[in-house]
Amino acid sequence: MAGRGEPVNLGRAKTALIYAFLGLNIFLSYHLLLPFMDRFNQVAVSSADYENARSYLEQNNYILEAEIIRSAQVSTFLTVAPAQQIRDELRSLFSGASVVSEENKTSVYRLTDRELTVRPEGPLRIDFKPGLFLEAQSETPEDQELSGLVLQLLGENMVVPDEVRYNYIKREQDGRKIIHYYQDIGGTPLYAGYMNVFIEGDRIVSVELYWLELIDWPQEGEIEVIPATEALIRLVEELGPSPNPRQIIKVDLGYYSREYNAEKWEIPPVWRILLGDGGVYYINAFTGNLEADE
C-alpha cells in the first residue's frame, strides 16, 4: 500500500490488470479447446496398424499408394433430397423444344443440336449432336487441364452447378473418356451428387447430372467412424484376392448413397476408395459394409 503522499503508479497497475486478464483468457481457452484438441490429436491408425493393413493388402495383390487419414474422424448422417432448382433451370433451356417422348414418366425434349432426357427424380441426361468440340492445347492434355476445358465449354452451353468438383477420369478401351465430377457441400465431398461427362475423340457427346439438396446437417450426434485401414481391409475381404496387382490411389472420407425415388432420405458417411484401373468403391464409415461399386 502506498504511503501517504506517495503517488500511485496507474500505468503499472493497468499493465498488471491487462496481464491478469490475458492469463485468465488463455487459461479458459485452453480448457475449452482441450476436448477438441484431444480429438484431432487422437491417432486412429498407429504405425503398427498401418503396416499390418498394408501387408494384408499386398498379400492379396492390392498396392497402397494413397496417403490415408490417420487421425480419428467423426461424422453423422445427412438428410438430402433431389435438387429441383437445377432440374428447372435445365428444362428452361429447352423451353422451345419439341417433345419426342413422354413414356413411363420420362420426358425427352429435342432441339436441333441437343436432346434432354428427364427421368422422375433421377439423373438428367443431355446428348449433344454431333457434339461440343473441345479445342485442347495439346493432343494429350493433362487430366486437370482437360477438366477445366470441359467445364468452360459446358458453362457456355448448359447450366453447371457452382458446387461441381473434379473427381477422376475413366478411360475406356475404345478410346472414350468419362470425366467424373462430384458435388461439394461446404468442403465435404457428396459423391451421391455427380456430373459425368462423356467424351468421344475431341467432342463432348453427353452429360449425366444428378444433384442433391442438403435438407439437414445435424450439429450434434457425431460419432467416430472406422479407420481408413479398416475400410481397406473390409474392401479386400469383399472383393477377394486380385489375380493382378491393383493400385489404391485415393482414399477419401465423404458421403454416398444410391439414387432413391423418394422426397428425402438419410445418407451415410463413406470411405471412397479409388483404384488405378478405374474401380471406385464406397465403404460405409459406420458399418464397414460395401455400399456400391462401379
19-47 pLDDT, tens per residue? 556 655 554 444 444 444 444 445 678 99
Flag whether pLDDT at 133 surpasses 90.
yes
Flag whether pLDDT at 195 surpasses 60.
yes
Average pLDDT over residues 79-91: 91
Rounded distance between C-alpha atoms, residue 115 and residue 125, angstroms: 8
Flag whether pLDDT at 281 surpasses 70.
yes
Domain range summary for the chain, segments of one domain joined by +: 38-77+218-293, 83-216
Flag whether pLDDT at 216 surpasses 80.
no
Residue 114 CB burial class (10 angstroms; 0-12, 13-18, ≥19): buried
State yes or no: cis peptide before 268, omega within 30 of 0.
no
pTM of the complete model = 0.80
> Are 266 and 77 spatial neighbours (Cβ–Cβ below 8 Å)?
yes
pLDDT at residue 100, as a whole number: 83
Hey, is 253 helix, strand or coil? strand
pLDDT at residue 144, as a whole number: 82
Rounded distance between C-alpha atoms, residue 85 and residue 47, angstroms: 47
The better pLDDT of the pair 139, 70 is held by 70
Region 38-77+218-293: CATH code: 2.40.128
CA 183 to chain CA mean position, Å: 6
Strongest mean pLDDT among 21-30, 169-178, 222-231, 259-268: 222-231
Residue 106's identity, in one-letter code, is T
**Lowest pLDDT segment from 30-44, 48-62, 71-85, 132-146:** 30-44
pLDDT at residue 64, as a whole number: 97
pLDDT at residue 105, as a whole number: 80
pLDDT at residue 38, as a whole number: 42
Hey, is 101 helix, strand or coil? strand
Q: Which long-range contacts (CB under 8 A, 24 or more apart) does 166-171 make?
A: 167/191, 167/194, 168/143, 168/250, 168/274, 168/278, 168/280, 169/143, 170/278, 171/278
Rounded distance between C-alpha atoms, residue 109 and residue 123, angstroms: 15
Flag whether pLDDT at 256 surpasses 90.
yes
Average pLDDT over residues 263-290: 94
Q: Could you tell me what percent of the chain has a pLDDT over 90?
A: 61
Q: pLDDT confidence of 122, banded at 50, 70, 90?
A: confident
Instruction: Tell me the DSSP string of 10-54.
Output: HHHHHHHHHHHHHHHHHHHHHHHHHHHHHHHH-BSS-HHHHHHHH
Polymer length in residues for the chain: 294
Find the Cα–Cα–Cα–Cα dihedral 113, 117, 118, 120, rounded to 10°. 180
The CATH classification of domain 83-216, taken from the options 3.40.190, 1.10.1660, 3.40.50, 3.30.310 = 3.30.310
Rounded distance between C-alpha atoms, residue 215 and residue 78, angstroms: 8
> Are 259 and 122 spatial neighbours (Cβ–Cβ below 8 Å)?
yes
How many secondary structure helices (H) and strands (E) does the chain include?
5, 18
Residue 141 has which C-alpha cell? 492434355
